[in-house]
Amino acid sequence: ATTATTYVYDFAEGHKGLVDLLGGKGANLAEMTRLGLPVPPGFTITTEACRAYLRTGAEPDTLHAQVSAHLDALERRMGRRLGQGDDPLLVSVRSGAKFSMPGMMDTVLNIGLTDASVTALARQAGDERFAWDSYRRLIQMFGRTVLGIEGDAFEDLIDDARRAAGAATDVELTADQLRALVERFKDVVRVRTGRGFPQDPREQLDLAVRAVFDSWNGDRARLYRRQERIPHDLGTAVSVVAMVFGNLGPDSGTGVAFTRDPATGHQGVYGDYLANAQGEDVVAGIRNTVPLADLATADPACYAQLLRTMEVLENHYRDLCDIEFTIERGTLWILQTRVGKRTAAAAFRIAVQLLDQGLIDEREALRRVSGGQLARLMFPRFATEAAGDVAGERLATGIGASPGAAVGAAVFDSATAVARAAAGERVILVRRETNPDDLDGMLAAQGILTARGGKTSHAAVVARGMGTTCVCGAEELRVDPAARTLTTADGTVVAEGEVISIDGTTGAVHRGEVPVVPSAVVEYFEGTAPADTDDLVAAVDRLMTCADRVRRLDVRANADTADDAARARRFGAAGIGLCRTEHMFLGERRTLVERLILAESDDEREAALAALLPLQRDDFTDLFAAMDGLPVTVRLLDPPLHEFLPDLTDLSVRVALAHDVHDARLLTAVRRLHERNPMLGLRGVRLGLLVPGLFTMQVRAIAEAAARRGAAGGAPRPEIMIPLVGTVQELEIVREEAERVVAEVERDHGTRLDIPLGTMIELPRAALTAGQIAESADFFSFGTNDLTQTVWGFSRDDVEASFFGAYLEKGIFGVSPFETIDADGVGALVTTAIAAGRAARPGLKLGVCGEHGGDPESVHFFHAAGLDYVSCSPFRIPIARLEAGRAAA
């Protein structure tokens, strides 16, 4: 027989490298145990056991025995038995997946309490109240998560008990009142499940473990994973931990600590503490917490020990850590740590601080930030200098928990947030405090505002994870979800649908729409603010420098105008990778295009082209000036001609109503050019081959602009790019003609022009015959938008609105292939074409233009594929530079 799979690891056996198997929580509990930190003993059931259970619907055969063996060891070590005897051992049963999913799965505390052991616990602790409080918590948590009874059934009974006792919070309930509450809770269980609350501790344990396994597939957890792009097949581990008690009186308590401020990244002591409470109370925002620093006076010894522990953890993990701890009658216990979620600003600041401290090197610092975070720092912010007057009516100030400037209609529940957002409205979700059921509302909202809870509250943690603006703990506000209003301290009422603005940096809440200004980071990229504006800008500057030093990919811009080109240059572009010429045919020039299309003789056509030529030439002259010394890839006209003509229906109506000769002629042309599938029709190189003189005119304009710039002392570097080539023959014809025109311009201007001519690779056939095409192309630029359309057979203009939602929902893909390159399909063609192109023409220049060029994940793909450059919109350039650096780091 083969040796049985190990499904259970003692904390002393694991380490942080086993995160796949033990989950983040389990692996880090093991790691902290190894570091000698005060972690209560316990063991972890692996994700592998969970996967087996989810696959087969039953726990693996040997699991029960393995748990028994570890439980025995735990009991021997503690000298106590689970839920038995004079001094019963209690445990928690905790979920914990590879990636942190805060509050999305289940945990049950106080397992082992029964009608018998609750009395023993009371006697042992010398505290009746504590024992009954723990028992009611167990039945409540177990009832909800294991037995599936909705939480309100218990919450309502607590409210009743509180009201009857005239108690403001549940800590004021006496032992007798809690005992009575336990009886009522047990009644709820009996009525709802048809049997009494389980009195066998081991049965409690096994059922709780199974419930945690099941919680992996709960709605909340699934939604969160989709949002965070966490795979659905990982499963969760389950940690069983000896209980320690923060609810043993005023010298006990529980808290959360961060080694740095997760909102700003600044160093210091950050966290929340709640005396006489058990774990969940802190994050649930049920009672108001106190700042962690208050612990320095309340319990100096534990506080000092906590600070030392935080230092040990930060140096060990070399990163911001967050920590859950409990103090039981003056003894500190560490219950969890993980590398903490942080805002974008904090990520940049912390990476640079750790770099300065010598804890990490430059490459590691780059890996600690992301293009997505940089994008967030480039969002506009509220015009703070004018906060007093322009900023609208100030309603309150809360805690800036997740930065950003959010404006939207106030809504008071998750469903309304989802509905209004789906109708295209911007909303701010306003809650007393959020809980995991609010997740879809939080996802739909521009911003989140809560009246209760600190920086570690559910709202704050989840918002930071999602990068959504959040103000929490605005305690001056009274939120009334039933009336759908919020009321300020001075009695101002804001009703559902009214626009409010929240500032996730300062915590300010305003009525109305506050104007926004560019972020300091954008001003720095624009060159209007120096790098030493503040420590955040300095951190961005530092990491951009690192990225530029290590990256191999060049970053070019998609830019069609001199203004865009100039901005792109300021943002660090190494040239233009895609200049679309179609906009140069719109506006007033539309009539010239019409003349070109309507031309009935060569003379008429040539006259139209001759009128367009100088306009095109001026466009290019400006562009080459803005990008002087850097390459500018000009794509010849790509879209179908009918895009420049009036709409067929409109025009038909017009002609029918008033018979106009010109319109009638136009209508004939529109009909002639009308196509069922214009994106697969007469466009790109096909247009160039079929409309005599069109490409010739464009090539001439480019060449003449270059000659002029050269004569004026500039260094123009145009490159001509032919779109939608499917076969080398198309390219050969265009090339021959282009070379003839360029030679003519050279002759006329008495100058030498060096204008590379290349092609887009955006059809599967082009990718598959890239070797042949390379014979005639000086460069390739992958047009991954069209390539994605044609490889998948997706019409980009239609599918995103029609069935992509369902596809994402079903997990067919985790993200739209138009957003992040489909590495397996489209990417495989890119790789094939690169190999064939380079084999046919060593030194062939390779780039990508299209949306993917600015998408972080895709940039990593293009780096690995060996492209020379990516090209993206000007605002994405810093993001692409950073990601190109990260890819090489």
Name the minimum Å distance from CB 131 to Mg ion.
Answer: 24
Task: Rule CB under 6 A: say whether 212 interacts with ligand ADP.
Answer: no
Residues binding ligand ADP: number (CB under 6 A): 16
Dig out the tokens for 471 from the structure. 């103000």
Residue 316 bears catalytic tag: no
Annotated binding site: 580, 635, 762, 783-786
Question: Which residue stretch of 6-14, 102-110, 397-405, 494-502 sits at the interface with ligand ADP (rule: CB under 6 A)?
Answer: 102-110
Write out the binding residues for substrate.
580, 635, 762, 783-786
DSSP string, 637-689: P-S-GGGGS--HHHHHHHHHHS--HHHHHHHHHHHHH--SSGGGSS-THHHHH
Q: Is 201 in the site for ligand ADP (CB under 6 A)?
A: no
Distance CA 888, CA 555 (A): 14
The one-letter amino acid at 123: R
Taking the CA atoms of 54, 60, 64 and 69 in sequence, report the sign of the dihedral they define: negative
271 near ligand ADP (CB under 6 A): no
In the set 472, 546, 849, 872, the catalytic residue is: 849
Name the residue number minimizing CB distance to ligand ADP.
279
The option from Mg ion, ligand ADP, none interacting with 781 (CB < 5 to 8 A, set by class) reads none
**CB-wise, 704 or 786, nearer to Mg ion?**
786
Smallest separation (angstroms) from Mg ion to the CB of 803 = 22
- Residue 783 interaction partner, one of ligand ADP, Mg ion, none, beta carbon < 5-8 Å per kind: Mg ion
What does 280 bind: ligand ADP, Mg ion, none (CB cut-off 5 to 8 Å by kind)? ligand ADP
- Assess 255 for contact with ligand ADP (CB under 6 A): no
Residue 94 as a binder of ligand ADP (CB under 6 A): the answer is: yes
Residue where the block lists tokens 């063609």: 829
Q: Which residues are annotated as a binding site for Mg(2+)?
A: 762, 786
- Helix 175-193 and helix 128-145, axial crossing angle in degrees, nearest 10: 20
Residue for token pair 């389990």: 26
Rounded to whole angstroms, the Cα distance separating 887 from 367 reads 9
Beta-strand runs (E) in 711-817:
717-722, 757-761, 779-783
CA distances from 603 to 373, 644, 736 (A): 56, 21, 23
144 binds ligand ADP (CB under 6 A): no
CB of 116 to ligand ADP, least distance (A): 21
312-371 binders of ligand ADP (CB under 6 A): 324, 326, 335-336
Residues 6+ apart with CB under 8 A from 376: 343, 344, 403, 404, 467
Which residues lie near Mg ion (CB under 5 A)?
A: 336, 762, 783, 786
Q: From the list Mg ion, ligand ADP, none, which binds 776 (C-beta under 5 to 8 Å, kind-based)?
A: none
Is the Cβ of residue 221 or residue 725 nearer to ligand ADP in the bound state?
A: 221
Q: Tell me the C-alpha distance between 406 and 505, whole Å.
A: 11
Binding test (CB under 6 A) with ligand ADP, winner from 19, 39, 109, 645: 109
CB of 475 to ligand ADP, least distance (A): 22
Selected from 8, 182, 241, 522, the binder of ligand ADP by CB under 6 A is 241
> What is the per-residue binding string for ligand ADP in 19-58, x denoting contact by CB under 6 A?
---------------------x------------------
**Between 26 and 447, whose beta carbon lies closer to ligand ADP?**
26
What letters, b where the CB count within 10 A reaches 16 and e where it falls short, cover 509-540? bbbeebeeebbbbbebbeeebeeebebbbbbb
Q: Can you tell me the distance from the alpha carbon of 174 to that of 165, in angstroms, rounded to the nearest whole number?
A: 9
Judge whether 849 counts as a catalytic residue.
Answer: yes
Q: How far apart (Å, rounded) are the C-alpha atoms in residues 369 and 882?
A: 9
Helices (H), 279-361: 280-284, 295-298, 300-317, 344-356
Pairing of strands 757-761, 290-291: unpaired
Return the range that interacts with ligand ADP (CB under 6 A); candidates 101-109, 400-408, 410-418, 624-632: 101-109
Examine residue 112 and tell whether it contacts ligand ADP (CB under 6 A).
no
In 3-state terms, what secondary structure has residue 580? strand
Q: Which two tokens stand for residue 667?
A: 């209508």
Provide the minimum distance between the beta carbon of 94 and ligand ADP in the complex, in angstroms, as a whole number: 3
The entry of ligand ADP, Mg ion, none that residue 94 binds, CB within 5 to 8 Å by partner kind = ligand ADP
The amino acid sitting at 866 is G
CA 850, distance to chain mean position in Å, is: 21
Catalytic residue among 50, 70, 458, 510: 458
Interface contacts to ligand ADP, rule CB under 6 A = 40, 92, 94, 103, 107, 109, 241-244, 279-280, 324, 326, 335-336
Catalytic residues: 458, 849
